[in-house]
Amino acid sequence: MPVLVMKFGGTSVATLDRIKRAAKRVGVEVAKGYDVIVIVSAMSGETNKLVGFVNETSQLYDAREYDAVVSSGENVTAGLMALTLQEMDVPARSWQGWQVPVMTTDAHGAARIEDIPSENITRKFNEGMRVAVVAGFQGISPEGRITTLGRGGSDTTAVAFAAAFNAERCDIYTDVDGVYTTDPRVCDKARKLDRIAFEEMLELASLGAKVLQTRSVELAMRYKVKLRVLSSFEEQSDEAGTLVCDEEDIMESNVVAGVAFSRDEAKMTLVTVEDRPGIAASIFGTLADAGVNVDMIVQNVSEKNYKGHEGGVTDMTFSCPVDQVKRAEKALAEAQASGVLNYDRLDTVEEVAKVSVVGIGMRSHAGVAAKMFKVLSDEGINIQVIATSEIKISVLIERKYMELAVQALHDAFELEKA
């Protein structure tokens, strides 16, 4: 029988009533003739509670025991979903990550899936099981310890299972009814997209859209897994939600597919840095070692001579999440104290936001950047940093102008129109 993967997020399984609702959706797909693999998250709020328990118990906790604790929420949901399906006379069985097994690296708290052997679940399907309910977010390390995949990891689990079992489709059920041109809470003209290309979804996810975890989209694009994002709380139909698919499966794309934003950004500038080969590697190697996620980078070259060095000096500006500023400041100060880096000062601005326009149509259309910059200029919004890729243009602006910028760009590119 064909295989379908269905993933239910925390809000979709937050109560026993919601688990029953989700189980009914699974039953509909079983009746259509599918063998179904259901990936479940922990009940809404449960993982945060478990993380809190760990932090109260030990500030310097053992990451292996952290994974053992926080992965338990998904185990509970999987068992409850299997019991609910059995009450509906649907042959179902729950599976924890180690039982499948979901083979991962040993990076506890941020493990990556390396392999999902299909033999165990396939054998049970052949014996009459119709639904395998798998605990998402978890796996097993080469040492045989429980691992977790990082927050949002159940999305990645679902896509990985769809790839491993050559599933017809992977349906991601959440609390929104699809992927929108931007966040409807910021722009009331936001429109739900029927289809979006993998590359566009990957950019939107990495730029702040919370619908899908970035790693899950990367995996879907690599293995050509068709993803459908839809709501657990609305009527089900074949046209529901948003299909994330290959660019070739979309008849005609708009130049811009969506506007993404990230509110909690910071801009950091190293002033008067020695301008020499390897300086960028020293700066960003230091930040990487400290676990700082650097995004936008701008280098400004100065002709000023720096302590006799030929080539002068430069200012290096980059952005990072605002909650990583202290970590970045500490790492750079230590690098300066040890002689790895020389700079006059570090300027930090925390009240900034990143706004981006994304669309595969940019490849064949000129003038998108000019139009974006003109729109922001007309609204009196100053651009502090610019970064571009083949299908994305991102800018850093003052945070207080973020919503205005999103609304203005959404209107300018007429994203409310199909």
Confirm whether residue 400 is marked as ligand binding: no
Q: In this structure, what token pair is assigned to residue 369?
A: 């950047």
What are the b/e assignments for 105-137, b being 16+ CB within 10 Å?
Answer: eeebbebbbeebebeebeebbeeebbbbbbbbb
- 175 appears as a binding residue in the annotation: yes
Residue 408 corresponds to which tokens in the numbers above? 């203005």
380 is in an annotated binding site: no
Annotated binding residue 9? yes
The answer to whether 212 and 196 have CB atoms below 8 angstroms apart is no
Length of the chain: 418
Q: Tell me how far CA of residue 272 lies from CA of 20, 141, 286, in angstroms.
A: 61, 45, 17
Tokens of 315: 């200012």
Strand locations in 308-344, DSSP E?
A: 313-321
245, burial (CB in 10 Å: exposed 0-12, middle 13-18, buried 19+):
buried
φ, ψ at 239 (rounded to 5°) = -95, 0
Q: Is 226 within 8 Å of 169 (Cβ atoms)?
A: yes
47 is in an annotated binding site: yes
Question: Is residue 33 within 8 Å of residue 2, measured between CB atoms?
Answer: yes
- Best CA proximity match to 356, nearest among 396, 317, 321, 323: 396
Q: Is 8 annotated as a binding residue?
A: yes
- 294 labeled part of a ligand binding site: no
Annotated ligand binding at 11? The verdict is no
The Cα 13–Cα 43 span in angstroms is 5
CB atoms within 10 A of CB 271: 16
Q: Helix, strand, or coil here: 117?
A: coil
- Provide the 3-class DSSP secondary structure of residue 390: coil
| Residue 210 marked in a binding site | yes
Q: How far apart are CA 106 and CA 164, in angstroms?
A: 20
| Amino acid present at 306 | Y
Confirm or deny that 10 is annotated as ligand binding. yes
Instruction: Identify which of 369, 331, 328 has the alpha carbon closest to the alpha carbon of residue 349.
Output: 328
Which parts are annotated binding residues for substrate? 47, 74
Which parts are annotated binding residues? 7-10, 47, 74, 174-175, 180, 185, 210-211
Which parts are annotated binding residues for ATP? 7-10, 174-175, 180, 185, 210-211
